[in-house]
Structure formats: C-alpha cells, structure tokens
Amino acid sequence: MKKTIITGVAALSLVALLAGCGTSNTTGSSGTTGSAPVNAANSTSSTASPDINAQFVSVTASAQAAMDDFVTGKSLLGPMSTKTINGTNYAVVASSKSDLDTLENSYLDFMTQNQMNVMFSHVHDINGLYVFQPMKSSGDTNNWFKATVKSVVKKSDGYNVTLSVPQTNGSAPQTQTAILVKNSSGNFVYAGS
C-alpha cells in the first residue's frame, strides 16, 4: 500500500477503512465506535445491527468530513498550497494530472466515483496546475461522527439510511439521510444523500 501523510478527521476514518476495519476506531476527538465488519446483505428491515449502524455512521462521517475539508482547501494529503493566478487566490489540488488522478482515487475508499466527481467538479487546469477557489468554511454544523442511525431501508442498489445528527453549535439534532452502497471490494461507500 502506498504510504501518504494524511490529516484531519477524514484521515482518521480513512486509515481504519484502508486497514479493512470497515469502520473508524475513532469518532473525531472523543470516543470510539470500534466494530468489526458485518455482512449487511440480510438487513432489509427498518433497523440494522449495531455493527452495521456503526459502519454506516463511520462511512457517512468520513465522506462528509472529506468533503468539508476539501472545500476549505484540505485534502487527504493535508492542507493545499495556495497560488495567486491573475490576481485570484486558488488552492492547488495537484501539480500534475497523474497526481490529481492519484488523489481522486484515494477518495474512492469511502465514496462512490460519482460523489468524488462532484467533489472535484470545481477543479480546473490553469497553467498546468489543478486548482479551485476554496471557501473559508463549508458551513456544515453537523457533528457526523456523533450521529445515530434512526432507520435503514434496503434498496436494490444499497441502503437509504436516516440519521439523527447532533449539531456543533449546540442546536437540536437534525435528521439527515445518506445513501450507502457496496464498492467492488465489498465495503460500504457513501453515494450521496
């Protein structure tokens, strides 16, 4: 396996997923979820086992953290450098097409190709650099790693998961949805909401 330096909440979950755990051994900076991979093929009711629920939360939280980090100029490799081009500040995602492809593929461990394409849709080639204009904040107040599963509905291509998500600003938890499917390796990946 290629070794890379990764930072942030998404990195913690990614390390667990790459190790084949199926779920993170951390929930950000507090607590653990620690569960073993479970076959969810028979989970067709509106509830799932605690182990499967933990996997659903972990994968959703990893994907959401990665997307939040990305829009603010951080990738799985750490903070992106910045460059001013024609008076506009950009975050530099990659300095070559091959580096961009490698980075994009690293996100496929916990999200679908389509979700990764959406995340990278604002990246453009300017003078050989792959860049985009980052935001100061994603605006997401969801504490995804503390989410709990309210219900799970099996669909032909995956699972529709309804989550209760605490808010980082102390307001009431919000109900959010996530679509999770299995990738070619048999691991759950985030396919959208």
Residues 121-146: tens digit of each pLDDT: 999 999 999 999 999 888 889 999 99
Asked if residue 2 is part of any domain, the answer here is no
CATH classification of the domain holding 164 = 3.10.450.420
Q: Which two tokens stand for residue 187?
A: 């691991």
pLDDT surpasses 70 at 6 = no
Q: What value does the mean pLDDT take over residues 11-29?
A: 36
As a three-state string, the secondary structure of the chain is CCCCCCCHHHHHHHHHHHCCCCCCCCCCCCCCCCCCCCCCCCCCCCCCCHHHHHHHHHHHHHHHHHHHHHHCCEECCEECEEEEECCEEEEEEECCHHHHHHHHHHHHHCECHHHHHHHCCCCEEECCEEEECCCCCCCCCECHHHCEEEEEEEECCEEEEEEEECECCCCCCEEEEEEEEECCCCCEEEEEC
Is 111 domain-assigned? yes
Residue 109: pLDDT over 70: yes
Q: Which token pair is 73?
A: 């100029």
- pLDDT for the residue 183: 92
Its pTM surpasses 0.85: no
Residue 74 lies in a domain: yes
Q: Which residues make Cβ contacts (< 8 Å) with residue 158, sequence separation at least 6?
A: 179, 180, 181, 182, 191
Which comes out higher in pLDDT, residue 157 or 33? 157
Q: Please, how many CA atoms are within 13 Å of residue 2, restricted to the half-sphere of its CB?
A: 7
pLDDT digits 0-9 by tens, 161-171: 999 999 999 99
| Range in 45-54, 77-86, 153-162 the model is least confident about | 45-54
Q: What per-residue confidence (pLDDT) applies to 47?
A: 56
Q: How does the average pLDDT of the chain come out, rounded?
A: 80
Count of structural domains, the chain: 1
Q: Establish if 94 belongs to a structural domain.
A: yes
Give pLDDT tens digits for 55-64.
999 999 999 9
- 149 contacts 159 by C-beta, under 8 angstroms: no
- Please give the distance of CA 78 from its chain centroid, rounded to a whole number: 15
pLDDT at res. 46? 52
In a domain, 1, yes or no: no
Q: Which of 24, 27, 69, 66 is nearest to 187 (CA)?
A: 24
Domain-located, residue 180:
yes
Q: Which structural domain, as residue segments, surrounds residue 105?
A: 8-28+42-192
Q: Kindly report which listed range (24-28, 106-110, 118-122, 170-174) carries the lowest average pLDDT score.
A: 24-28
Q: How confident is the model at residue 45 (pLDDT cuts 50, 70, 90)?
A: very low
- The answer to whether position 33 is within a domain reads no
Query: Is 47 among the domain residues?
Result: yes
